[in-house]
């Protein structure tokens, strides 16, 4: 689907379906905004008609289809509600685009236009960006394994073009840039969704590493993949232990973005941010095996890695002016004769030892190696890890927000703000000294679980042992990485959460200042 901009009078829009969004109308005096009245006159007054009959008030869940007379260039007009103007934000606009496309698909429209709403609350380029993002996210489908996905067998033909129509006097270049960037970002989020939706029989650690290298080549990132021999040489005991039960060997992927023109310092000593993703391509629990109900969803236990791969794609495409390293620690957690066991003591990359009390707490083991490696190798200004880490976080926050923990208030605050702006809410969970102490071991330096209490925070407490003083934040996306409740911009399955949050954070980050 092509997303494009047209600066034109709406009545000039020759599309199969033209969506006309309206804010909630005044109940007593439901008069149309002037730009719509002009259009309506050209269409023979049908819109006013619908409103006079009381069939449309502009509420957020309303959509009414109107068939204009033969003079109209648009074949169908869709009146679509936007709710109260003072509540309108980027998320409402993203959903508006998604809802418009859904209605258009139902009518088998191939070309869709949307008359962009204007509100003083939001600058026009931001409106355009939100609508473009909503369109790309809303038309995402994971259908590559369906026989009937394309061509004349398809249940609905594909929408070819989505045109954002802005009125005559708008300034095109900033709108065009905003749309281009928003599409690149949403495409990157869709890439993350694809990776997480892909089943574990195809999305193995090796396959994930291949996708990351291919993507890196395409957008101009450096990329290095560590195989088992290199992981052994580097003493990555955590990643190796988790991966040793599977015939699909583990990998660590390092992607590097270092723009020619960037922030402070030379290309060699620029402040660096490390993004680290948990990439468990299937989490059966290992020897501490999970119950079978819902286990199939554990193919998305690499959603943190998917978010990092997606974010790195966007970071390169949008030319974010910082050095950013994306690390993916990927392995498959299976029970077998070669699997690691409860009671095993493993030596991690950092040199610390861990007694494995539960092989299902594997994410923290692979992350700990990646964090320690990133910290020593890059001495980053900040590190952020993303992981489907704990069922406890899913219970605490559900799908309503990503768990946010760390050792640096300014960094956490910045991520919280990025969450608000991007629509990917991150909510603070505590990380007390007690949570860290709970992870101390008796026969090894650490244990990998500490009972059921405060499971999200004790997992954070474990990770904290591998980051020292470096500003670090941990995003637990166990509840937000996957959904069974579809929305207009999110079908069931992988959400690609984290991509927008991380990219938003990085586009506001200023090195040198407290993060």
d(CA 159, CA 19): 14
d(CA 326, CA 274): 6
Between residue 236 and residue 275, which ones bind ligand BES under the rule CB under 6 A?
none
d(CA 417, CA 446): 33
- For residue 455, the partner it binds in Zn ion, ligand BES, none, with Cβ less than 5 to 8 A by kind, is ligand BES
Which CB sits closer to ligand BES, 115 or 280? Answer: 280
- For residue 5, the partner it binds in Zn ion, ligand BES, none, with Cβ less than 5 to 8 A by kind, is none
Among 331, 478, 503, 515, binds ligand BES (CB under 6 A): 478
Half-sphere exposure at residue 330, Cβ-oriented, CA atoms within 13 angstroms: 36
d(CA 404, CA 393): 10
d(CA 211, CA 198): 12
Dihedral of the alpha carbons of 40, 43, 46, 52, in degrees to the nearest 10: 20
Of 290, 347, 377, 421, which one is the catalytic site residue? 290
Reply yes or no on whether 150 is catalytic: no
The count of chain residues that interact with ligand BES, using the rule CB under 6 A, is 16
User: In sequence order, what are the residues at sequence separation of 6 or more whose Cβ sits closer than 8 angstroms to the Cβ of residue 233?
Assistant: none
- For residue 97, the partner it binds in ligand BES, Zn ion, none, with Cβ less than 5 to 8 A by kind, is none
Q: Write each residue from 400 to 439 as x if it is in contact with ligand BES (CB under 6 A), else as -, in one continuous string.
A: ----------------------------------------
Q: Does 362 bind ligand BES (CB under 6 A)?
A: yes
Give least dist CB 364 to ligand BES, A.
8
Burial grade of 173 (CB within 10 A; 0-12, 13-18, 19 or more): exposed
Q: Does 339 bind ligand BES (CB under 6 A)?
A: no
Give least dist CB 387 to Zn ion, A.
8
**Of the candidates 486, 490, 497, 292, the residue with the CA atom closest to the CA atom of residue 388:** 497
Half-sphere exposure at residue 336, Cβ-oriented, CA atoms within 13 angstroms: 13
d(CA 173, CA 178): 9
Of 18-26, 145-153, 221-229, 389-397, the window that binds ligand BES (rule: CB under 6 A) is 389-397
Which CB sits closer to Zn ion, 181 or 360? Answer: 360
Of 76, 99, 364, 500, which one is the catalytic site residue? 364
Q: Does 40 bind ligand BES (CB under 6 A)?
A: no
**Of the candidates 384, 453, 468, 445, the residue with the CA atom closest to the CA atom of residue 419:** 384
- Radius of gyration in angstroms for the set of CA atoms belonging to the chain, rounded to a whole number: 25
Measured over the CA atoms of residue 210, residue 214, residue 215 and residue 216, the dihedral's sign is positive
- For residue 394, the partner it binds in Zn ion, ligand BES, none, with Cβ less than 5 to 8 A by kind, is ligand BES
Contact 142, 190 (CB under 8 A): no
Q: Does 332 bind ligand BES (CB under 6 A)?
A: no
Residue 391 backbone class (left: φ over 0; alpha: ψ -120 to 50; beta: rest):
alpha
Give least dist CB 326 to Zn ion, A.
20
- For residue 392, the partner it binds in Zn ion, ligand BES, none, with Cβ less than 5 to 8 A by kind, is ligand BES
CA distance from start to end of the chain: 38
Give least dist CB 300 to ligand BES, A.
7
Between residue 276 and residue 305, which ones bind ligand BES under the rule CB under 6 A?
283, 301
**Token output for 207:** 């396959």
Dihedral of the alpha carbons of 418, 419, 421, 422, in degrees to the nearest 10: 110
Among 30, 342, 391, 441, binds ligand BES (CB under 6 A): 391
Q: Does 342 bind ligand BES (CB under 6 A)?
A: no
Q: Write each residue from 445 to 464 as x if it is in contact with ligand BES (CB under 6 A), else as -, in one continuous string.
A: ----x-----x---------
Which CB sits closer to Zn ion, 299 or 322? Answer: 299
Reply yes or no on whether 341 is catalytic: no
Q: List residues binding Zn ion (CB under 5 A).
A: 280, 283, 301, 360, 363
Active site residues per annotation: 290, 364
The residues that touch ligand BES, with contacts defined as CB under 6 A, are 283, 301, 358, 360-363, 388-392, 394, 449, 455, 478
């Amino acid at each position: 689907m092509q997303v494009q901009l047209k600066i034109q009078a709406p009545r000039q829009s020759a599309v199969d379906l033209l969506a006309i969004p309206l804010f909630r109308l005044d109940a007593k005096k439901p008069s149309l905004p002037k730009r719509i009245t002009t259009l309506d006159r050209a269409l023979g007054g049908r819109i006013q008609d619908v409103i006079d009959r009381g069939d449309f008030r502009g509420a957020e869940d309303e959509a009414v289809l109107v068939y204009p007379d033969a003079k109209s260039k648009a074949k169908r007009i869709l009146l679509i509600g936007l709710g109260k103007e003072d509540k309108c934000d980027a998320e409402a606009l993203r959903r508006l685009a998604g809802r418009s496309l859904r209605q258009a698909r139902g009518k088998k429209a191939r070309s869709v236009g949307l008359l962009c709403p204007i509100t003083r609350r939001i600058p026009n380029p931001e409106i355009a960006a939100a609508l473009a993002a909503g369109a790309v996210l809303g038309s995402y489908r994971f259908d590559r394994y369906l026989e009937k996905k394309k061509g004349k067998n398809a249940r609905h033909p594909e929408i070819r073009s989505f045109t954002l129509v802005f009125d005559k006097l708008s300034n095109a270049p900033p709108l065009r840039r905003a749309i281009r960037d928003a599409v690149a970002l949403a495409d990157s989020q869709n890439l993350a969704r694809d990776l997480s939706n892909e089943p574990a029989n195809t999305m193995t650690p090796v396959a994930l590493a291949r996708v990351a290298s291919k993507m890196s080549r395409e957008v101009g990132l450096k990329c290095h993949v560590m195989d088992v021999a290199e992981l052994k040489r580097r003493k990555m005991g955590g990643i190796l232990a988790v991966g040793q039960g599977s015939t699909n060997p583990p990998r660590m992927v390092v992607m590097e973005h270092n723009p020619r023109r960037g922030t402070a310092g030379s290309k060699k000593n620029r402040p660096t941010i490390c993004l680290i993703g948990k990439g468990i391509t299937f989490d059966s629990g290992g020897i501490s095996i999970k119950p079978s109900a819902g286990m199939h969803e554990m193919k998305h236990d690499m959603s943190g890695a998917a978010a990092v791969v997606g974010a790195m794609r966007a970071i390169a495409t949008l030319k974010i002016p910082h050095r950013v390293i994306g690390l993916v620690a990927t392995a498959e957690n299976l029970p077998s004769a070669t699997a690691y066991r409860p009671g095993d003591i493993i030596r991690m990359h950092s040199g610390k030892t861990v007694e494995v009390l539960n092989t299902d707490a594997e994410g923290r083991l692979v992350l700990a190696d990646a964090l320690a490696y990133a910290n020593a190798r890059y001495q980053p200004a900040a590190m952020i890890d993303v992981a489907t880490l704990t069922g406890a976080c899913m219970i605490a926050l559900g799908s309503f927000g990503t768990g946010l923990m760390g050792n640096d208030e300014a960094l956490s605050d910045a991520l919280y703000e990025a969450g608000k702006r991007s629509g990917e809410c991150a909510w603070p969970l505590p990380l007390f000294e007690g949570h860290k102490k709970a992870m101390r071991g008796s026969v090894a330096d650490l244990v990998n679980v500490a009972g059921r209490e405060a499971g999200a925070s004790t997992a954070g407490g474990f990770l904290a042992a591998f980051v020292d003083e470096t500003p670090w934040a941990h995003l637990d996306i166990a509840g937000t990485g996957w959904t069974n409740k579809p929305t207009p911009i999110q079908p069931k399955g992988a959400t690609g959460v984290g991509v927008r949050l991380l990219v938003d954070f990085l586009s506001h980050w200023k090195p040198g200042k407290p993060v």
